[in-house]
């Protein structure tokens, strides 16, 4: 059912009951310190505490991280199993002696790793693999790693094959690179293994470098997705979502196995919607998505706060607006082969959006549009309402100013509700003061009419980051006027060992913005 913004809803957005969305900041509060209260009732830490500056991993550090992750003891800053093993594989050449042996055991296929001290190798010989022309499904007939039935083995093969059809045959991505005769043949090898005890659904591992930064690999999926270990969905749903997500990682290895972490995880989570739209497993990341945590950088990677998974909504927004092929175009630009763009995530996005209004405009309209998900996402009418960082009901002649300090690739929205300003002559004069233009500030004003329509206007900012705009504030027609302040900076010092894009540090974090809304006549 379509959501229409009414005056009652407008008041709720500013300060009404909780709607499973970010709570309202105090008057003049820095939106970075606004509480984020998920539907579960667990309160997340302020986002500035979730901005780790992680040093480049040494080989020994990558080994320790992979051990923690695969044992189910991951720390807040640790990546997913796939990326932990990716990092270990990249750093393996720097290891020697016992560390090298331990790394090889962690990276080994289950059929090769019976002596793996983490218990990720099969302890009995595998059964005859079940294969088709492009996938081989490996499993064991006994022990805790055994699947529940031969039918489940066949179901896994059929599911991964269906995912291949969607992601490669239909969406046009490169097929995972062949591993030659590894696993018994050239097909992609998928292993079933009891992973639920470590809290892992599945993972993929790069295995052999092919050309530039591309590699072949293999994947491992939980052997049964038992509801005792995975209670949030039926086994077949968990299998489908996990296969779609992890298979896309195997595809990514054929573009650039060293691509930015946030891009790898956010696009893999976006892919879940392509293969399992009915499951909606990726909605569990809403609370840490740009819709409900807009003050967090789009490119932030954090194991504890799952922002990189929540950022799937950015790709959903782009693919809704421009078609699903735009995500592939971004990966083509991010790829490392001669025919690719050879860029990291943000320059890749800048390239594909250059002729579509540019990155800044698209990111700004994305941030502003997230206030009304039903207008911007295919399933948005089912999403909870977000809330503003702050807002004010304004009568004739009144004004209100809000201040913010914004991280790069982040935003903050404010609402103005008309009171007793009936008539076409009444306007809201919006004044925006931001950082200098070269840092890519933006501001979007949206007039939400009571008939459900929206009028979207970009505020034209001068070289100093200042701009003015007047919009209708007729209390008979206008439910609320939203102003979204946006720090769209893409300026970094790269290779500084962080978890952000290009492993860099933003040059424009905590940028100062303010907006003043004043009720006036023409």
Q: Are residues 15 and 98 in the same domain?
A: no
Is there a domain that residue 287 lies in?
no
**Cα within 13 Å of Cα(350), Cβ side:** 13
Task: Decide if 304 contacts 77 (C-beta within 8 A).
Answer: yes
Nearest CA-CA partner of 390 in 15, 2, 4: 15
Tens digit of each residue's pLDDT (9 = 90 or more) over 106-149: 999 999 865 555 667 899 999 999 999 999 999 999 999 999 99
Kindly indicate the confidence band of residue 300, based on its pLDDT and cuts at 50, 70 and 90.
very high
Q: Are 328 and 319 in contact (CB under 8 A)?
A: no
Q: Rounded to an integer, what distance in angstroms lies between the CA atom of residue 90 and that of residue 459?
A: 45
In a domain, 494, yes or no: yes
| pLDDT at position 41 over 50 | no
| 416 SS3 class | strand
- End position of a domain, from candidates 259, 285, 319: 259
189 lies in the same domain as 70: no
Choice between 17 and 300, residue whose per-residue pLDDT is larger: 300
Q: Tell whether 372 is covered by a domain.
A: no
pLDDT tens figures, 401-459: 999 999 999 999 999 999 999 999 999 999 999 999 999 999 999 999 999 999 999 99
Q: What is the pLDDT of residue 57?
A: 66
Q: Is the pLDDT of residue 304 over 80?
A: no
**What total number of domains does the chain contain?**
3
Residue 515: which CATH number? 2.60.120.380
- Residue 447 three-state SS: strand
CA distances from 192 to 129, 142, 148, 202 (A): 11, 12, 11, 9
pTM of the predicted model as reported, rounded to 2 decimal places: 0.90
Residue 456 counted as domain residue = yes
Question: Which of residues 227, 259, 291 is at a domain's end?
Answer: 259
Token couple for 333 = 């630009």
CA 447 centroid distance within chain:
28
What stretches of 357-440 adopt beta strand conformation (E)? 390-394, 399-406, 410-418, 426-433
Same structural domain for residues 484 and 504?
yes
Give the three-state DSSP class for 414.
strand
Cβ 483 vs Cβ 497: under 8 Å: no
State whether 221 and 96 are in the same domain: no
Identify the domain containing residue 178 by its residue range.
124-259
Q: In angstroms, rounded to a whole number, what is the distance separating the alpha carbons of residues 226 and 246?
A: 19
């Amino acid at each position: 059912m379509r959501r229409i913004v009414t005056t009652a809803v407008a008041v709720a957005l500013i300060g009404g009951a909780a709607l499973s969305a970010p709570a309202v900041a105090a008057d003049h509060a820095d939106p970075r310190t606004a509480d984020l209260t998920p539907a579960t009732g667990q309160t997340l830490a302020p986002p500035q505490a979730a901005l780790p500056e992680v040093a480049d991993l040494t080989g020994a550090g990558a080994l320790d991280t992979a051990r923690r992750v695969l044992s189910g003891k991951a720390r807040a800053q640790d990546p997913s199993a796939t990326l932990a093993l990716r990092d270990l594989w990249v750093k393996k050449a720097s290891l020697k002696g016992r560390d090298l042996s331990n790394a090889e055991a962690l990276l080994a296929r289950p059929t090769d790793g019976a002596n793996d001290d983490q218990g990720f190798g099969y302890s009995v010989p595998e059964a005859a693999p079940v294969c088709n022309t492009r996938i081989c499904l490996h499993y064991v007939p006994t022990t805790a790693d055994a699947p529940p039935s031969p039918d489940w083995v066949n179901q896994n093969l059929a599911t991964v094959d269906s995912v291949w059809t969607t992601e490669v045959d239909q969406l046009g991505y490169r097929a995972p690179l062949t591993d030659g005769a590894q696993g018994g043949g050239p097909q992609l090898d998928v292993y079933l293994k009891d992973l639920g005890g470590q809290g892992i659904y599945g993972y993929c591992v790069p295995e052999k470098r092919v050309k530039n930064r591309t590699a072949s690999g293999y994947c491992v999926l939980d052997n049964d997705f038992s509801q005792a270990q995975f209670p949030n969905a039926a086994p077949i749903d968990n299998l489908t979502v996990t296969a779609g997500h992890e298979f896309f990682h195997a595809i990514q290895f054929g573009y650039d196995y060293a691509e930015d972490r946030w891009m790898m995880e956010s696009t893999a989570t976006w892919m879940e919607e392509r293969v399992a739209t009915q499951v909606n497993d990726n909605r569990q990341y809403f609370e840490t998505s740009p819709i409900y945590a807009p003050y967090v950088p789009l490119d932030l990677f954090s194991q504890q706060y799952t922002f990189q998974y929540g950022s799937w909504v950015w790709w959903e927004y782009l693919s809704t607006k421009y078609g699903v092929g735009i995500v592939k175009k971004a990966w083509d630009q991010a790829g490392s082969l001669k025919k690719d763009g050879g860029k990291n995530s943000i320059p890749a996005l800048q390239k594909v959006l250059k002729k579509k209004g540019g990155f800044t405009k698209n990111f700004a309209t994305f941030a502003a549009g997230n206030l009304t998900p039903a207008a911007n996402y295919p399933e948005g009418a089912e999403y909870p309402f977000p809330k503003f960082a702050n807002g004010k009901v304004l009568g004739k002649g009144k004004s209100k100013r809000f201040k913010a300090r914004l991280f790069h690739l982040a935003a903050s929205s404010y609402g103005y509700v008309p009171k007793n300003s009936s008539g076409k002559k009444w306007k809201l004069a919006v004044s925006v003061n931001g950082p200098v233009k070269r840092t890519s500030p933006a501001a979007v004003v949206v007039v939400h009419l009571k008939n459900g329509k929206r009028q979207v206007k970009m505020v034209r900012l001068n070289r100093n980051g200042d701009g003015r705009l007047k919009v209708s504030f007729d209390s008979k027609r206008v439910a609320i006027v939203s102003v979204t302040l946006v720090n769209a900076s893409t300026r970094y010092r790269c290779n500084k060992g962080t978890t952000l894009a290009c492993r860099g540090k933003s040059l424009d974090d905590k940028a100062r913005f303010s907006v003043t809304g004043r009720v006036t006549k023409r």
